[in-house]
């Protein structure tokens, strides 16, 4: 007779394995178009009735072929994200994408995607990109990418992209392994949280005086995602 502890261990291993295979749960049907009007609350969105689904649920006139405005961002970038909030057909499919425009000397500041791995390809110009591994090593991996090059940012790690050109814009397309990857821009989260993190905490964490922390918290920490 199989012991209950063995069954529990097998179930735990299966659960861990299933989580390792994909950021989002694997779909159990051909599609599950998001029903954003449903009162049901689930991890993601409930499914729209299949008989009410049309081709338009899988389509978005996103204008990703057109340059996006980078002048309104202090970082000099514009991230146009196509996720399940904009394209209902992405629900349960574990993927999303973004067009990223960079002004000369613009950047997509250090940030992390809590729910996704990212693969990025340069469409125009060049980018200096990198990511940092977790504690304790905090190892930095960087590369200069040119048109057509591809780079992967592992799930959850802090990463960035920077356009080194003084006079030429850059464009990249990113694919992410979640229908809703999320983004945490490090500076915004630390110094622009609502309500603010105590300056005692930040002064100690960054080994600076409180005046420096107060000045940083007084800045306008904008979101470069659309």
Is 170:163 a contact under the CB 8 Å cutoff?
yes
Q: What is the DSSP string of 166-197?
A: SS--EEEEEEESSSS---EEHHHHHHS-SSPP
* 155 assigned ligand-binding residue: no
* 159 assigned ligand-binding residue: yes
* 113 assigned ligand-binding residue: yes
197 class by beta-carbon count within 10 Å (0-12 exposed, 13-18 middle, 19+ buried)? middle
For residue 186, CA distances in Å to 142, 157, 190, 222 come to 18, 11, 6, 12
* 108 assigned ligand-binding residue: yes
Which residues neighbour 95 within 8 Å (Cβ) at sequence distance 6 or greater?
A: 175, 176, 177, 178, 179
Q: Which among 183, 180, 179, 181 is positioned nearest to 94, based on CA atoms?
A: 179
Alpha-carbon gap, residue 211 to 95, rounded angstroms: 43
Q: Which residues are annotated as a binding site for Mn(2+)?
A: 111, 113, 118, 159
Q: Which residues are annotated as a binding site?
A: 108, 111, 113, 118, 159
- From the annotation, which residues make up the binding site for oxalate? 108, 113, 118
């Amino acid at each position: 007779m199989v012991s209950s502890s063995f069954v529990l261990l097998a179930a735990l291993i299966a659960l861990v394995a299933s989580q390792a295979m994909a950021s989002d749960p694997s779909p159990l049907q051909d599609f599950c178009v998001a029903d954003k009007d449903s009162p049901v609350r689930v991890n993601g969105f409930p499914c729209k009735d299949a008989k009410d689904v049309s081709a338009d649920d899988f389509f978005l006139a996103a204008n990703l072929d057109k340059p996006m405005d980078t002048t309104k961002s202090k970082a000099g970038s514009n991230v146009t994200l196509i996720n399940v909030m904009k394209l209902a057909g992405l629900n349960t499919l574990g993927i999303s994408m973004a067009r990223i425009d960079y002004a000369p000397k613009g950047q997509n500041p250090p940030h992390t995607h809590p729910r996704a791995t990212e693969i990025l390809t340069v469409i125009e110009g060049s980018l200096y990109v990198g990511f940092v591994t977790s504690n304790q090593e905090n190892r930095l991996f960087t590369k200069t990418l040119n048109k057509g090059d591809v780079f992967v940012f592992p799930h959850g790690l802090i990463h960035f992209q920077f356009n080194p050109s003084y006079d030429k814009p850059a464009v990249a397309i990113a694919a992410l392994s979640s229908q809703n990857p999320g983004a945490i821009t490090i500076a915004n989260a630390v110094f622009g949280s609502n309500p603010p993190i105590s300056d005692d905490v930040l002064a100690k964490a960054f080994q600076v005086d409180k005046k420096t922390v107060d000045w940083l918290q007084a800045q306008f920490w904008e979101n470069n995602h659309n």
